[in-house]
């Protein structure tokens, strides 16, 4: 194309201005669409699709951070709550805090279970113990929220850490889902009118590759894929329940809904630990990210569950990342998600190269090499 006339750098100026125009038009459109999306979501959300009043909820990682925020709000909404974590003393404090928030003090019930959710059998024990505690009925909502990030560069991070990150951020949710669904999908002549909910807490790291998250992000991406694939599979059991002429015990007691909640940065004890080992280049890429408190992230997630969302982001940056990274994942609102997704493709033309340049420039300035003695 440039061969005949020679390379002319000024020829690039015109498209650059055009591109900048598109960039600002994109930014404005993003805001309009976001406002519209919230409006429409609120507008159509007449009925509460996540009613927990009088129902039983399990939240892993419920002793601090987002999990504790979720437990508090669900307690305010009238749920019986079971929190799971390893450290009993933290569970005791959190249980007091959650109990104090109850909508119907004295009527709601609260329980803590100390367990390590990276062990498959412990997840079976959790479901069994809660079913017994709940007078023989399985829990109505199970939220696989426990997780922990150990960021670091791939070659600097011992493989055992990357593997244990997969145990914590993927396998723990897979084990709990397996134990839960084996309990929920049994044939049952009993038919519940409200759906049961299986929820997993992923991360916006599942959408975007950021230098320094190789031990963590792949696990959260795998979790998202598990939720997408389970959602497809659960249609079969949910469909079976709609056949009125079939035998009563040829389908499960309740419809099952799966959700994946995708938060951005949360100001939690987990984040404090994460930042201790986080590479400087990761901090540069995350600069300016909005951090939510445990109450903010929990309120946003629950509000959007109540409108019936499947893949739930908790703030605007997450909304944009979700729209741009949907692939074959089910849409919450096909119109908004399609328009928003299209706009985000344009935004990535600028954000993507900018992030690549930052990492490249960091290496150029500070040097980058793998030193075996330092890991």
Ligand X SMILES: *[C@@H]1O[C@H](CO)[C@@H](O)[C@H](O)[C@H]1NC(C)=O
Ligand Y SMILES: NC(=O)c1ccc[n+]([C@@H]2O[C@H](COP(=O)([O-])OP(=O)(O)OC[C@H]3O[C@@H](n4cnc5c(N)ncnc54)[C@H](OP(=O)(O)O)[C@@H]3O)[C@@H](O)[C@H]2O)c1
Catalytic residues: 216, 220
Q: Does 236 bind ligand X (CB under 6 A)?
A: no
Nearer to ligand X, 48 or 235 (CB): 235
Q: Does 248 bind ligand X (CB under 6 A)?
A: no
- Residue 38 near residue 126, CB atoms below 8 Å: no
CA distances from 370 to 154, 156, 181, 210, 365 (A): 10, 7, 44, 18, 16
- The rounded radius of gyration (Å) of the Cα atoms in the chain is 23
CA torsion 98-104-106-107 (nearest 10°) is: -110
- Residue 318, binding choice from ligand X, ligand Y, none, Cβ under 5 to 8 Å by partner class: none
Nearer to ligand Y, 253 or 298 (CB): 298
Rounded to the nearest 5°, which phi and psi values hold at 274?
-60, -45
As a whole number of angstroms, the distance between CA 188 and CA 253 comes to 5
As a whole number of angstroms, the distance between CA 72 and CA 284 comes to 33
Q: Which of 25, 27, 246, 272 binds ligand X (CB under 6 A)?
A: 246
- Which residues would be at the binding site for ligand Y (CB under 6 A)? 60-61, 63-67, 84-87, 90, 116-118, 145-149, 168-169, 201, 203, 263, 265-266, 268-271
- Residue 103, binding choice from ligand Y, ligand X, none, Cβ under 5 to 8 Å by partner class: none
Count of positions on this chain that bind ligand X (CB under 6 A): 3
Nearer to ligand Y, 51 or 93 (CB): 93
Q: How far is the CB of 159 from ligand Y (least distance, A)?
A: 19
- Residue 245, binding choice from ligand Y, ligand X, none, Cβ under 5 to 8 Å by partner class: ligand X
- Residue 223, binding choice from ligand X, ligand Y, none, Cβ under 5 to 8 Å by partner class: none
Nearer to ligand X, 10 or 245 (CB): 245
Residue with tokens 């049952």: 188
192 to 231: interface string for ligand X, x by CB under 6 A: ----------------------------------------
DSSP string, 38-78: HHHHHHH--S-SS--TT-EEEEETTTSHHHHHHHHHHHHTT
Q: Which of 39, 104, 243, 273 binds ligand X (CB under 6 A)?
A: 243
- Residue 116, binding choice from ligand X, ligand Y, none, Cβ under 5 to 8 Å by partner class: ligand Y
Residue with tokens 């400087």: 280
Q: Closest Cα partner for 322 from 336, 334, 337, 307?
A: 337
Task: Give the residue at shortest CB distance from ligand Y.
Answer: 270
Nearer to ligand Y, 226 or 253 (CB): 226
For 96, other C-beta atoms within 10 Å of its C-beta total: 10
List residues binding ligand X (CB under 6 A). 243, 245-246
């Amino acid at each position: 194309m440039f061969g005949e006339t020679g390379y002319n750098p000024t020829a690039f100026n015109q498209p650059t201005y055009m591109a900048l125009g598109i960039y600002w038009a994109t930014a404005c459109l993003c805001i309009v669409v976001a406002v519209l999306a919230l409006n429409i979501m609120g507008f159509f959300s007449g009925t509460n699709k996540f009613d927990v009043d009088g129902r039983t909820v399990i939240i892993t990682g419920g002793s601090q951070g987002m999990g504790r925020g979720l437990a508090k709000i669900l307690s305010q909404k009238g749920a019986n709550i079971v929190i799971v974590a390893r450290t009993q003393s933290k569970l005791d404090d959190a249980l007091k805090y959650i109990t104090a928030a109850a909508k119907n003090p004295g009527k709601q019930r609260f329980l803590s279970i100390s367990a390590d959710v990276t062990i498959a059998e412990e997840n079976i024990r959790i479901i069994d113990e809660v079913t017994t505690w709940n007078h023989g009925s399985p829990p109505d909502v199970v939220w696989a929220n426990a997780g922990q990030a150990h960021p670091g560069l791939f070659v600097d991070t011992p493989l055992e850490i990357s593997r244990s990150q997969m145990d914590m951020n993927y396998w723990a949710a897979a084990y709990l889902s397996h134990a839960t669904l084996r309990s929920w999908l049994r044939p049952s002549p009993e038919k519940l009118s409200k759906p049961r909910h299986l929820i997993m807490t992923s991360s916006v790291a599942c959408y975007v590759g950021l230098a320094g998250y190789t031990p963590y992000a792949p696990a959260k991406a795998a979790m998202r894929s598990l939720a997408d694939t389970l959602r497809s599979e659960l249609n079969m059991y949910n469909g079976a329940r709609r056949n009125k002429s079939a035998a009563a015990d040829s389908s499960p007691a309740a419809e099952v809904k799966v959700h994946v909640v995708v938060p951005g940065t949360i100001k939690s004890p987990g984040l404090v630990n994460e930042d201790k080992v986080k590479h400087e280049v990761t901090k540069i890429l995350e600069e300016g990210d909005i951090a939510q408190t445990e109450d903010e992230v929990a309120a946003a997630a629950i509000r959007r569950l109540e409108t019936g969302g499947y893949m739930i982001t908790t703030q605007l940056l997450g909304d944009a990342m979700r729209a741009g990274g949907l692939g074959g994942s089910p849409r919450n609102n096909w119109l908004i998600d399609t328009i928003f997704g299209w706009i985000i493709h344009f935004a990535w033309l600028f954000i993507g190269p900018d992030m690549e340049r930052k990492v490249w420039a960091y290496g150029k300035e500070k040097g980058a090499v793998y030193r075996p003695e330092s890991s």
